[in-house]
Structure formats: C-alpha cells, structure tokens
Amino acid sequence: MAFAHYGPFWRQMRKLCVMKLFSRRRAGTWLAVRDESAALARAVARRSGESVNLGELIFNLTKNVTFRAAFGADAAGDAGKRDEFIAIMQEFSQLFGGSSIGDFIPWLGWADQGLNVRARAARAALDEFIDKIIDEHMKRSKNPDDVDADMVDDMLAFLPEAKPKKAAGDDLQNSLRLTRENIKAMIMDVMFGGTETVASGIEWAMTEMMHSPDDLRRLQQELTDMVGLDRNVDESDLDKLPFLKCVIKETLRLHPPIPILHHENAEDCVIGGYLVPQGSSVMINVFAIGRDAKVWKDADTFRPSRFMTGEGETARLDFKGNCFEFLPFGSGRRSCPGMALGIYSLEFAVAQLAHGFSWALPDGMKPSELDMTDIFGLTAPRVTRLCAVPTPRLTYPLVSDVGATHKIHPEMYRAFVRGLATAKHAFYFFLQAVYLLAADLGSHPLAVPHLEPTEECANGSAMISPRTPSKNRHMDLRRAQFVTFSPAKVKPI
C-alpha cells in the first residue's frame, strides 16, 4: 500500500488497515505491545547494575510485536523463523535506503551496481517465506473474528482461493479481493512500519533523555507522582502523563520515523518558481522540516517542554498532519494508517523503561559524550546501539516471575518452600500450582484468592508460570539538498 497509486483499490486497502489491521478492536495487537514491553522490563531488570545493550533489546521488542501481530503467537514462538524474516526485512531496508547512479543521471539507469541482483534475491526469499505462512494459515482456516486471529487471518478473508466465510453485512469483504501478491506487499508494509521505525523512536527517546538528564528526571518524577513506585505503568496511566507525551513529540520532531517521505504529484504545479510536472517524484524532507530554525526555537536541542500546555511556545502543534511544521507521520490521505498503534507502542515502552529504572551511561561516560550520530536509510536510527546501566526504581518485583503473570500469594509460596505454614496452606498451594501449570492460560493476569487474607499477602505477590507455547551509506540530512514541498501544495496520490 505504501507504494501503490491512489485509486479505488488503494482506498479499499487503506480502509482494510484502518478498520481491520490496526483497529483498536484487534485486541491481540495491542496486548502484544503490553506483553513485550513487560518482557523488555524484565530483561533489563535481570541485568541490573551492568551495561545493557538497550538498543538491541528495544529492537527485539518491536520485532516480536510486529511478528506476533502479523503471523500469530505460534509463529512468534519460532525464533528461527522470526530471525529469518527480520533478516529479509533488513535487506529490503538497506536497498530502499540506498540509491543508484540512475537516480541522479537517468540515462545511466542501465548500470546495475548490484542493487537489482540483491533486490531479486530478497524478493525471492520473501515470496518463499510468506507463501509458507499463507499455506499454514489456510490449512488451519481460522475465523478472523477469533481472539487469537492475526493479520494474515484477516487478509485471507479477502483471498478467493482461501474460500473465506463471508460475514453478513461486511461491505468491505464483499467489495475487496486480494491476491497473494497483495498480501505479501501488505505484510512487508506492516513489518517495515512497525519494526525499525518504532524501535528507532524508542531508542532515540531514551538516548535524548540520557543526553539531557534533567528531562529524564522530570519524566520519572511525573511517573512517580501519577503511578507510584509500588507498581508498573498501566495502559490507563498514559493519558495522565502529559510530559511523557511531550517527550514522544520532541523525539518525533528530531527523529521522524521516516525522514524522507516519497510522494508523486497528480498534476502539474509551480513551487518556488519551478514547474513540477505531473508524475514527478517529490521527496518531503521531514527531517529538515522538524529542525527548521525559522519555525523551531533551539531547533537542534531536545526540549520536550516546548510542547507543554501553558509552558511551551509550540504546545498547539500536533502530529496528525494538520500542522505542516511537524509531519512525522505525513499528512492527508497518505498519512501513516498505523499512527495510533505506533504512538501507543512508543509511549508504553518509554514509560516502562523510565519508570522502572534509573539510568547511567557505562564506564563513567558523561551525558555530553554520548554519541548522537544517526545513519541514513529508510529510517534514521543511531549509528551505534545505545548501551546503559539500569538500576531498579520500583518496590514492585519485575523479575520474580519467569515469563507470565499468574499471581499467587507470597505467604503460600514461602509456606510451601520453607515449610513454615500449616499443612493446609501447603496443600492448597500445591493444588493451585498444579492447576496453573496444567492450564494453558497464556499471559493474562490471574489472581488466586487466599483462604485467610493478611496484610502481607495484600502487599506483595510471588509468580508462577504456566507452559507457553550491506552496509548503509551515511548521509547528513541536515545538509541534504532536497527541495521541501509541503503536502498542502503538492497533491499526493
């Protein structure tokens, strides 16, 4: 969909994204964000006091979320399959971010430079991988309305060869027909849009706050005041954290998910005295727009307070596409359909990391010495992964479990292990443990009531877990010689 021309089919595909794939009604996708963010916090907590490759852990989070949303929990549990697909996606990312001599001298477009060979190989690998996934999903024939249905299940409802069951009154299903090629292209869009872009945003947010410790302390104080130190951040807390939202906005201003937006004008237009013929490739330098000193005070400085209501000079600006000074997700009908899910992922992950831990740079490094260099590709991530030393802030135990969040009271656990309680308590603990281990309950919280509640039981919990199923080119975008066209003047298609 990202590269499709505007028309009836494109409109239907966008409708599919908004109403089905990225809808808030697809609870499994949003649950994956919460589950993987909690897993990230646990992974960091296990390395408390030592240098952690936070950038790599963040990339694993977004990789797992998008893979689970696209292909389902079963496929997400296959590490080999997941890593194979991510390797294919990274190859495409490098190819999309590169350029050939034909981009600048059209009559030399015949010069391959090896890019076409790499592109054909990557496409063949992608075809083989997704064909297997589609065949597996067709065999199991899952209803898209099932709780554990994934994006492939949703799209198979529009694939005639899958013989989908039509839902009564579903106008989209009655009007849209997909091919395997359409499904492959959509999956690639989803994986690109949800993996590197979100991972880069989370990593840059943490990097900028470690480079500006006062902002990290302010965010942590807000989290302490609104959430407390006796529990982790919950989804319902996000709307009560205005400074967190300012941190995300400022990160997106300095480090947009896609630094260069590609458009094509539907008709001839004149901009700045230049005639731009119909069908021209127009590149919107969102990176430069967000750092324009004519619009932004201290344009290259990370200052989230600029967006705070009653405090910042640009508090009125939002990123929904109506303010052309700030376009991290594009504008108009070509804006990112997964914006809401992307923002949710950014806010939830950053909140978990900032609330759960105090952060220091390794080897006595000063904040001013932190490498802030980015690397140009389809996205603009850090040139090196962010490494930092975490120290837990919460009284809530992040690593007392080994994977899930099924809770039993600590008094029962200690009674069973140390034999300090009555045989009755130990016996009931044993029955509850057997039940939880036998039941495949996934990762949903399960509170086990205590026979004789005590203050100690109310203040803590033990956990028990059931079975669970080329090198990029460097480019300084600040000096990139691109003509910046506003979407208000160039009609995208």
Q: How is residue 464 annotated by DSSP?
A: E
Beta-bridge partners for 281: 264
Helix (H) or strand (E) holding 425: helix 423-438
Q: At what angle do helices 339-356 and 213-226 cross, to 10 degrees?
A: 90
Determine whether 390 is exposed, middle or buried from the number of CB atoms within 10 Å of its CB (0-12, 13-18, 19+): buried
DSSP codes, 260-322:
EEEEE-SS-EEETTEEE-TT-EEEEEHHHHTT-TTTSTTTTS--GGGGSTTT-TTTT--SSSS
Per the CB < 8 A criterion, the answer to whether 86 and 188 are in contact is: no
Helical ranges in 141-179 per DSSP H? 151-156, 171-175
Q: Which of 295, 365, 281, 351 is nearest to 326 (CA)?
A: 295
| Cβ count near 448 (within 10 Å) | 17
Edge-to-edge order in the sheet of strand 52-53: 52-53, 387-392, 357-360
Q: How many residues does the chain have?
A: 493
Per the CB < 8 A criterion, the answer to whether 353 and 205 are in contact is: no
For the four alpha carbons of 357, 358, 362 and 365, in that order, the dihedral sign comes to: positive
**In the block, residue with structure tokens 């089905």:** 20
**In the block, residue with structure tokens 């909140």:** 351
Q: Is 269 annotated as a binding residue?
A: no
Beta-bridge partners for 359: 390
Beta-bridge partners for 462: 408
**In the block, residue with structure tokens 């001599």:** 101
Residue burial 31-48, b: 16+ Cβ < 10 Å; e: rest: bbbbbbbbbbbbbbbeee
CA–CA dist 122, 98 (Å, integer): 15
Can you read off the two tokens belonging to residue 385?
Answer: 């992964």
Three-state SS for 360? strand
| Cβ count near 146 (within 10 Å) | 10
Can you read off the two tokens belonging to residue 299?
Answer: 């344009």
CA–CA dist 204, 381 (Å, integer): 8
Binding residues for heme: 336
Binding residues: 336
